[in-house]
Amino acid sequence: MEQTMMAVRLFEHGGPEVLQYLEVPVPEAGPDDIVMRVHATAVNSWDIRYRTGNLPQPLPGRPPWPLPFQLGRDAAGEVVATGDNVTKWHPGDRAVQLPHPPCRNCALCIRGLENLCVDTAYPGHQVFGGYAQYVVRHQDTVLPIPDGVDYETAAATMWTYTTPLNCARQAPVGPGDTVVITGASGGMAIACAQLAKLSGATVIGTTTKPDRDEALTKLGYDHILHSTDPRLPAQVRQLSNGLGADAVWDCVGGNEFFQLSLACARLGGTVIVLGTPPSQGSRLELDALALIGQQVKIAGVRGATRRDQQLCLELLAAGRINPIIDRAFPLAEAAEAHAYLESHRQVGKVLLLP
């Protein structure tokens, strides 16, 4: 195997130009590790946040944000070497890294809350991520890619679908229910729409770009509404027999979309916050009287359990979910990929191919 590889590293915060494509040593496997040749990794909004330095305080159970760093929450590839203690992986096996690897031993993992693990480090958060030709992973932090699933699709699935699957558990919906999903063009929003459709719900997507209505409808949304239209909450009620949405899954985040989500939810409905926009603050405003009067439930979603991550691969193998890949860039063009994602021109996932 080669002694050096190409990787994209971050040595300072700033614009896309701070991403450096350079030659570095191939990482070495420890006794319990595998070395994986990366065939595809995804560019996510988190990568933009990390690159710009717009970082929150680390969550409980997470080390500080390192710098220099190598981004990449997702990575799919081929096992090329294994440590002495590795028995379940062999060179040539196809694998995808867990974006949410639990320790499985802390108090919360033992309680079945692996997504809230307090003794772990995530790839692309504290562990060098997939922006490289090779990565080293502990043998328990990767899963086999199902037969018939290519590397690009596997890389576009794991983070994008696992968090929405957790979302679906916190705000379950079924036949006859209505779900509003904000930011309909994003990869995670499309994942939310597909999972809600699997449950039999009517899915309404919101977008700030009217020219995408037809394309988004073809991706599984039953209706597309425009976030900038002040009539949007009334339109949601009209499409839900006057009630409002049973659940709103906010994939955009920020206070403006939080207020919009509350306005769209029915009495007794649920608003799930999946994230915050990289360029805006994370503070949300809430009127306690309105909260009580509407009896709305508000919840955040953080990560996914190992079972949820495995289930996403099973759904993928069965053809029940279909990640949408907008565009793939060579790894050397990571800066261009970041600029493209920041332009909000994509419909679906943006990938890097080392």
**What is the DSSP track for 145-191?**
PPTT--HHHHHTTHHHHHHHHHHHHHS---TT-EEEESSTTBHHHHH
The radius of gyration of the chain's CA atoms, rounded to the nearest angstrom, is 20
Place of tokens 């062999």: 90
pLDDT in tens, 30-48: 999 999 999 999 999 999 9
Q: How confident is the model at residue 281, as a pLDDT?
A: 67
**In this structure, which amino acid lies at residue 329?**
F
The stretch 232-247 carries a mean pLDDT of 97
What average pLDDT does range 337-351 have in this prediction?
Answer: 94
- The pLDDT value recorded for residue 334 is 98
Whether residue 277 has pLDDT greater than 90: no
- What is the reported pLDDT for 145? 98
pLDDT at position 106 over 70: yes
Q: What pLDDT, on the 0 to 100 scale, is given for residue 278?
A: 66
Q: What is the pLDDT of residues 194-209, one digit of tens each?
A: 999 999 999 999 999 8
Cα dihedral 12, 17, 21, 27 sign: positive
Q: Is residue 276 very low, low, confident or very high in pLDDT (cuts 50, 70, 90)?
A: confident
pLDDT of residue 124: 95
Q: Which of 178, 202, 176 has the alpha carbon at shortest distance from 269?
A: 178
pLDDT: which is higher, 37 or 275: 37
The pTM for the full model equals 0.91
Q: Which residue has the higher pLDDT, 184 or 290?
A: 184
Cβ neighbours, 10 Å, residue 292 = 9
What domains are there in the chain, each with its CATH number? 4-156+324-353 (3.90.180.10), 162-300 (3.40.50.720)
Residues in CB range of 31: below 8 A, 6 or more apart: 83, 84, 85, 86
